[in-house]
Amino acid sequence: MSTRPRPLLKSIPSTTTDPRAAGQGAHRAAVGAPKGVAEGVPTAVRPNPPAGDGRYPVAWLCIVAPRGATPTATSRCECGRDRSAVGMVRVLALISEHEAHRDLCPLRTPQEGRAAA
């Protein structure tokens, strides 16, 4: 039996000595969404994002009270107030202080009109 000759797996192109530049591809019209974008997905930022109502957080009260464990709490404000408490009595006191701080915080109550009044 004779064996068949193996076909060439690679086709090496012949090199040319001609110094011509490669030709330009055909121009396509840019119509529709770019390829790879799902239909219905916006590709640009919307021109008018929804406006907020002017409110933003200033102070945070975080209470952790797992069942059967000692409760802890932290009270933070953007004015620089940062307090924490451990234990039921101290956590309840911190909650009261946090509520009282709302009326005293310089970020929530502007100081300009107070001197004139």
Q: To the nearest 10°, report the CA torsion of 69, 70, 76, 82.
A: -140
Residue 115 has pLDDT above 60, yes or no: no
Rounded distance between C-alpha atoms, residue 108 and residue 100, angstroms: 12
Domain boundaries along the sequence of the chain = 59-107
Residue 31 pLDDT class (50, 70, 90 cuts): low
Q: What is the pTM of this model?
A: 0.50
Task: Work out the average pLDDT over 35-44.
Answer: 61
Instruction: Give me the mean pLDDT over the 7-25 stretch.
Output: 68
Average the pLDDT over each of 16-30, 31-45, 86-100 and give the range with the smallest value: 31-45
Q: What tokens appear for 50 in the block?
A: 């929804």
What confidence tens digit (pLDDT) does each residue in 44-103 have?
656 666 677 777 778 899 999 999 999 999 999 988 999 999 999 999 999 999 999 988
Q: Which residue has the higher pLDDT, 4 or 8?
A: 4
Residue 30 CA neighbour count, 13 Å, CB half: 1
Do residues 48 and 70 lie in contact, with contact meaning Cβ atoms separated by under 8 Å? Answer: no
pLDDT at position 37: 58
